[in-house]
Amino acid sequence: MKLPGKEAESEAVTLMSSDVDSVESVGEILHDTWAYLLEVAIGTMLLAARLQWFAFLPLGIIFACSRMSAYVAKHLEGRQKDWNVATQARISAITSVLGGIKSLKMMGMEDVGQSRISQLREKELRLSERLRWILVAYNASANSLGIFAPVLTLVFYALSPRTDGLHANEVFTSIALLSLVTHPANMVMTLVPRAVGITANFARIEAYISRSSVVDTRQIAGKEKAQHLASLDHVSIRNSSITDAPILRDVSFSIAKGELIVCTGAVGSGKTTLAMALLGESASGGSMFLASKKIAYCDQAPWLPSVTIRDAILGGSDFDEEWYKLVIDACCLALDLEALPDSDSTVIENNGMNLSGGQRQRIALARAVYSRYDMLVLDDPFSALDKTVVEHIVDRLLGPKGLFKATKAGVFLLTNSAQLFPLADRLLTLQGSEARLEDPSSVQKGEQLDSIVASTAGVVQNTQPSELHDKKMPGQNNRLSEAAIDLSRKTGDVAVYGYYINAVGHGNALLMTACTATYSFCLTFSQYVLRWATESSLRELNGYMGLYAGISFIAWAATSGTMWFTQLKVAIRSGMVLHSQLLERVLRAPLSYFAETHIGVTLNRFSQDIALIDKQLPSALANLSTPLIVYVQPVMLVTIPPCYILVYLIQKVYLRASRQLLFLDLDSRSQLYTNFLDTTSGVTTIRAFGWQDKFATDNIQALDMSQKPYYLLLCLQCWLKVVLDCIMAIIAIGLIALTVVYRNSTGADIGLALNLMVGANTTLLRLVQNWTSLETSVGAVSRLKDVQERVRSEDDARGAIEPGPRWPSGGELRMQHVTVSYSEKSEPALRDLCLDIKPGQKLVVMGRTGSGKSTLMLSLLRLLVTMHGDIYIDDINIAHVPLQVLRQRGIIAVPQDGFNIPTASIRFNLDPYNTCTDDDIVQALKRTHLWDKISASSSGFDDTLDLPMSTILPLSAGQMQLFALCRMLLRVEIDRSSKPIIILDEASSSLDLQTEAILGDILREELKYHTVIMIAHRAEGIMGALRAGVDAIATMKDGRLQVSVIGTSMDRVDEK
């Protein structure tokens, strides 16, 4: 809540998933350590009473193994940190890709995102391999303690001068006492790498929370004493740090109650930076006083949490029905809510993916209005709205009888729309680094809208709801369907194990099983060798002890081999294969999948589930493979089977309950991640409204809910330990009773049985826990398998054909009676649409917000389901063209919401396929007037293009649109022999008229021979680039297009 918005997101998700999971075990480690050390001391004293000085041999082995622990402690933290950083980079990239998945698909760059994330995954696994190697070596050292301490102690004791052989009571009692020394010592050394890893986790968390917070230099004058809502006196404004060069200098103005100040300026002039200063997000020097730091803020890119529309509008306020209706009407939302299936109870998914851009803006605007705050900052709130809707909203909010005047709210409006200037009380113009206050009446205005302040009563009533919202959108009932799917998964499935083994590789699985079986056999067989040694003569004793030592060495080699296969073969291969399959399936999923599934759920697959597969599953699989205990005495066959049945029944109850609790734990974590992602993505808006406490409370409540199943799971594990202890006590009593009744058992038999009994409790406990751990981890595999099977690929081109290398050569587009829907289960969004565009023709598609303009564009890119009709590009039906070919060669789209990977370089974001030279990229940046801005961020030409996007000076929304145009120009330059159709989705919505002229120049020159479809709310800035008698303007209304060719007095020549 205190970090700058750009720093608050992706890294925190990694910390709260991977790092916190490790840190939470610190209490267990602290208490286990002192208990284990006490056990070692007691065991050593008891062993010394029986073996004299031979009892101290295990301490020598413990010392030798501790040197390996010291080596591990020295090198583990750095390697653990490198792994965590790599994991964070991968999760950050996935978060960026999922957040911009619609834009990514429009541009046909799924393979770019997949390649980028796969490279990060490979790097992550390479770094994990460095850590795994050291863990394998450490594990081999730790296992040597438990295996070789009894060997060396008994061998030296047997070789000591003696007159007779070994006695059973000496051998098996000593083995039991040795386990009291070696097991806790081994556990202490096992805790060392965990403790070191936790130290690294703590350091990362500490470094994150120790970062510099947003420095709010604003001062509160108080509502009673303040003459103005905001007052700036000679303020210099910087992007973030006080050391940065000022963006604006010597800014002085004030905002009074009921006053409307319109701030205007060229793209990149600092309008948003000034707004951030008013909100306390940008560093500023000078005097800035506010009546209150709570400011209603409407961002340029609206932020909407994953709640119902009503809750999003209410924010933290109580429901006032009368005021709510006024706000809904003023923001022109009434008909939109009526058209939605659940009205204002419709859940907003993924920051409004199931809503149009105009709806998102109007909901964000309604939230600001409903708050009834004294001061509002509105950053270009009408950029995605059409003229009719803007007229209505402006009249109801900004007009003389609007709500803002009625509530005496001070409004700071950022816009380049000259038609709004007459409404302003004062006009603040930004130019260069200066801010100049002007009288709106003295400013030269362009074409005025006579009706801008006229009453628009009846406008909305006469406007039909958009075709887009006539039918139910996908994703409204997704929470229920996801829960049902989770229930079906909880029953388990043998096929899941087969799915995992295929990912591991049958050869790796077989070799790991062979090593585990060898270890189990040798561990048990060595006990029989000791039994035979106690029954042998003194002359045969050395041979048996040599055999005992040899078998123990084989056991050590086998268990070390198991660890090697587990960590370096099974974990690496399965982690790479399963992650690749998940990534492929998610990125190739249809757009409806992302409307139905929240980003937090999908992100949980890539973070929590992949972490289980990387770290927990391989070890659980290896540990479970170790057999229990082989009981050989005939008299024990009477007692053991009932106990096994009892243990099986307990395990069955425990496993069923623990698995259910685990799924509840994972579900609650998904909700926690969703809440956290919503909060971090909108932290600027949250701070502006002063909702930090509310969202912090909501997050704490989500955290508490996530801890409930986890706490019950710990209680269940304690219950299991108590029950197994009682069972082992019963077995021990039964064994002693049987030896008393049946006196034909030898001392060696009884010693062997009792010695095996000592480890039985631990073995059974580990069996049940490892089985549960395996089922828990396999649950992650099950969820990945479910995604693989349930989510279909969107590329279902029927009878796919590969167009020629020069396709499309002309760019002719024909739509014949096309009907599309957002999913196979939803009703049509557009019906029976026909359209013909000639090669090289420019078509501007306009229409009311939500009228279906974006739906038309998505249908051309096959992002929607075509239920009927055909679309042809140069006489090739695009239904038969592979999606990658269509979106990369057939159509080049420039999305409204630009997509960039912050951690990737400028070069990668502009030219992800590395097909352009540096000169090509620089020329394209100069063509879009961005080179000066970007080059100012570097020390020289050579390294500019290799800078990460996150390190360049912040780009405004308009500059981001120019950046997207630059990427489009480079794609056009790649192959001049073809003429792909260009789709511009609101590419000029954040541009002023002067900057919009750049787009017009591009249309006249670089795109002269290309077919271009422009989705727009205004066409003034590009009218000069359209050719009379050739190019056309189309109006979208009620799912139909009315096309008028320019230069024919706008007479309608085609209506389809």
- Backbone conformation region of residue 1047, classed left if phi is above 0, alpha if psi is from -120 to 50, else beta: left
284 lies in a domain? no
Who's near 302: CB < 8 A, 6+ residues apart?
351, 352, 360, 361, 363, 364
Assign 3-state DSSP to the chain and report helix, strand, coil percentages, each to 5.
60, 10, 30
Are 1015 and 1034 within 8 A, CB to CB? no
433 lies in a domain? no
797 lies in a domain? no
The amino acid sitting at 1052 is R
Which residue is it, tokens 């096959």?
Answer: 862
Whether 71 and 133 map to the same domain: the answer is yes
CA–CA distance, 263 with 746 (Å, rounded to integer): 98
242 lies in a domain? no
CA–CA distance, 359 with 339 (Å, rounded to integer): 12
For 670-703, the pLDDT digits (tens) are 788 788 888 888 888 999 999 988 888 988 998 8
Whether 457 and 512 map to the same domain: the answer is no
**Pairing status of strand 865-873 against strand 813-821:** antiparallel
Q: How many domains does the chain have?
A: 3
Domain boundary, last residue among 440, 475, 510: 475
936 lies in a domain? yes
Lowest-pLDDT choice from 590-604, 769-783, 809-823: 769-783
- 875 alpha carbon, distance to own chain's centre: 41
CATH number at residue 143: 1.20.1560.10
Q: What is the mean pLDDT of residues 1018-1041?
A: 77
Whether 595 and 727 map to the same domain: the answer is yes
**Short-list 230, 185, 574, CA closest to 428:** 230
Lowest-pLDDT choice from 443-457, 803-817, 915-929: 443-457
CA–CA distance, 354 with 950 (Å, rounded to integer): 28
Are 787 and 670 within 8 A, CB to CB? no
Of 523-537, 623-637, 721-735, 783-797, the range with the highest mean pLDDT is: 783-797
Q: How many Cα atoms within 13 Å fall on the side-chain side of residue 648? A: 6
Lowest-pLDDT choice from 353-367, 457-471, 811-825, 927-941: 457-471
How is residue 268 written in tokens? 């990149």
pLDDT at 343 exceeding the cut of 50? yes
Whether 461 and 580 map to the same domain: the answer is no
Residue 1049 phi, psi dihedral angles, 5° rounding: 55, 30
CA–CA distance, 356 with 914 (Å, rounded to integer): 34
Are 837 and 891 within 8 A, CB to CB? no
For 96-119, the pLDDT digits (tens) are 888 888 889 999 899 999 999 999
CA–CA distance, 490 with 99 (Å, rounded to integer): 29
Letter string b/e over residues 539-572, b meaning 16 or more CB atoms within 10 A of that residue's CB: eebeebbebbbebbebbbbbbbbbbbbbbbbbbb
Q: Tell me the C-alpha to C-alpha distance, in Å, between residue 839 and each of 110, 810, 980, 981.
A: 28, 5, 10, 9
Lowest-pLDDT choice from 174-183, 333-342, 386-395: 174-183
**Pairing status of strand 876-877 against strand 248-255:** unpaired
- 3 alpha carbon, distance to own chain's centre: 19
How is residue 41 written in tokens? 């001391």
pLDDT of residue 967: 92
Whether 559 and 466 map to the same domain: the answer is no
Q: How many C-beta atoms surround the C-beta of residue 46 within 10 A?
A: 17
Are 890 and 807 within 8 A, CB to CB? yes
CA–CA distance, 889 with 803 (Å, rounded to integer): 10
Whether 305 and 416 map to the same domain: the answer is yes
Report the C-alpha dihedral over residues 678, 684, 690, 693, rounded to 10 degrees: 40
Helix (H, G, I), strand (E, B) or coil at 847: strand
pLDDT of residue 759: 55
290 lies in a domain? no
Q: Which secondary-structure segment (H or E) carries 237?
A: strand 230-237
Whether 571 and 717 map to the same domain: the answer is yes
Q: How many C-beta atoms surround the C-beta of residue 812 within 10 A?
A: 19
CA–CA distance, 552 with 237 (Å, rounded to integer): 73
pLDDT at 839 exceeding the cut of 90? yes
pLDDT band at 225 (very low <50, low <70, confident <90, very high): low
Whether 342 and 401 map to the same domain: the answer is yes
965 lies in a domain? yes
Residue predicted with more confidence, 211 or 18: 211
Whether 509 and 463 map to the same domain: the answer is no
222 lies in a domain? no
Domain boundary, last residue among 475, 509, 531: 475
Helix (H, G, I), strand (E, B) or coil at 68: helix
**411: containing domain:** 257-279+296-428+450-475
pLDDT of residue 736: 72
How is residue 761 written in tokens? 């409790």
Whether 632 and 730 map to the same domain: the answer is yes
* 1039 exposure class (CB count in 10 Å sphere: 0-12, 13-18, 19+): buried
pLDDT of residue 461: 32
Q: How many C-beta atoms surround the C-beta of residue 711 within 10 A?
A: 11
Whether 64 and 189 map to the same domain: the answer is yes
Residue predicted with more confidence, 370 or 266: 370
* 447 exposure class (CB count in 10 Å sphere: 0-12, 13-18, 19+): exposed
**Cis status, amide bond into 808, omega within 30 of 0:** yes
Residue 833 phi, psi dihedral angles, 5° rounding: -90, 135
CA–CA distance, 811 with 890 (Å, rounded to integer): 8
Whether 777 and 686 map to the same domain: the answer is yes
Q: What is the mean pLDDT of the chain?
A: 79
CATH number at residue 1011: 3.40.50.300
